[in-house]
Amino acid sequence: MQSLLEIYHARCAAGDLTLDPAQEAALPQLENIRVALSEPVKKGWFKKAPPPPKGLYIWGGVGRGKSMLTDLFVEYCPAPALRVHFHAFMQEIHEAMHKARADGIEDTLKPVAADVARRLKVLAFDEMQITDITDAMIVGRLFELLFEAGVVVITTSNRAPDDLYKNGLNRQLFLPFIELLNQKLVVWELTSPKDYRQDRLSGNPTYFTPINAESRAAIDGVWKDFTGGQASPLILKVKGRDVLVPQFRNGVARASFFDLCGKLLGAADYLALADAVNVLVLENIPNLSRNNFNEAKRFVTLIDALYEAKVRLICSAASKPETLYVEGEGVFEFERTASRLREMQADDWGA
């Protein structure tokens, strides 16, 4: 059986990946888990199953290859594994708990965790972030139940465990979960100086205008380069409401202007989006005026949220930033948005 390091080197030699010492150093940690999961369980009256291996918490800057390493592990994992974005997983947990509650089950979390453990041996999370108080209150016990059932957790994050839910409401109630992570997972910082996601865009346009077959093809090309064309919806819970992002993978989201600005969304929704994604591909921004003033206001709020969070923006628009909004109330205020759209096109934006 080829090791993950050997597979990685082969892909680098083929030109599919770029050799990176920080990524090389992390692979033995994943290989240890893979080998432990490969060992057959010896059965017998007096033979006790060995404890599951420790999981892995990989953290570091955006675009360092954390998601790629996780994908590689899951691809060659010898046990049933699910690779899922953390926000999407928590959404599924909330829905399953709601169903259990409707069925009259008092302890709704227990059967939900049991069902996950019955189906999976490995849970691989992308982008662990805790921003929602509801998630913060249930995640500790959920993981306790999963660990007790022998589920191995591998997760990536832009933050060290001790910085999760930092300054969050009632954070002291969340601290035992951080202790649990440090106990059950090996914490590994991926210290690569290169931002491969940023490098992909370096020297390439990120703002495409006008909206036509050529710009649509360019956007499709960028999306495929980032995600391989694979994606699933991302649902964000914001103040008890669902905010749907149609396509999401590896921290990269894709949506149309109508998806995000044509609906009744506000600052809290855009802040949640900016916190959940590293790159946003936003399509079909129309010319703005008094005729679509509400959509224009939402667009301004969206750009402010992305700008403050240093989210990389790739978009297609009806015209260049300075002429997107030329008549109607708020034209003067839009000058700042146009300036930000220009600034966000720089090669080093969000670095």
Give the list of residues 6+ apart from residue 168 with CB closer than 8 angstroms, or none.
130, 131, 133, 136, 174
pLDDT value at 42 more than 80: no
Q: Mean pLDDT, the chain, as a whole number? A: 88
Say what percent of the chain tops pLDDT 70.
94
Percentage of residues in the chain with pLDDT exceeding 90?
51
DSSP string, 166-222: TT-TTGGGTHHHHHHHHHHEEEEE---S--HHHHHHTTS--EE-S-SHHHHHHHHHH
Give residue 22's pLDDT band: very low, low, confident or very high (50, 70, 90).
very high
Helix (H) / strand (E) element for 276: namely helix 267-276
Query: Residue 43 has what pLDDT?
Result: 60
Average pLDDT rounded to a whole number, residues 129-148: 86
Confidence band, pLDDT 50/70/90 cuts, at residue 321:
very high
Instruction: Inform me whether the pLDDT recorded for 247 exceeds 60.
Output: yes
Q: Mean pLDDT across the stretch 30-52? A: 79
The answer to whether the beta carbons of residues 316 and 212 sit under 8 Å apart is no
Domains 4-189 and 196-343 share a fold: yes
Is pLDDT of 281 > 90?
yes
Domain residue ranges in the chain: 4-189, 196-343
Q: Which fold has domain 4-189?
A: Rossmann fold (3.40.50)
Between 1.10.287, 3.30.200, 3.30.460, 3.40.50, what CATH number should domain 196-343 receive? 3.40.50
The per-residue pLDDT for range 162-220, each reduced to its tens digit, is 988 887 788 888 899 999 999 999 999 998 777 665 565 566 789 999 999 999 999 99
Please tell me the predicted confidence (pLDDT) of residue 67. Answer: 84
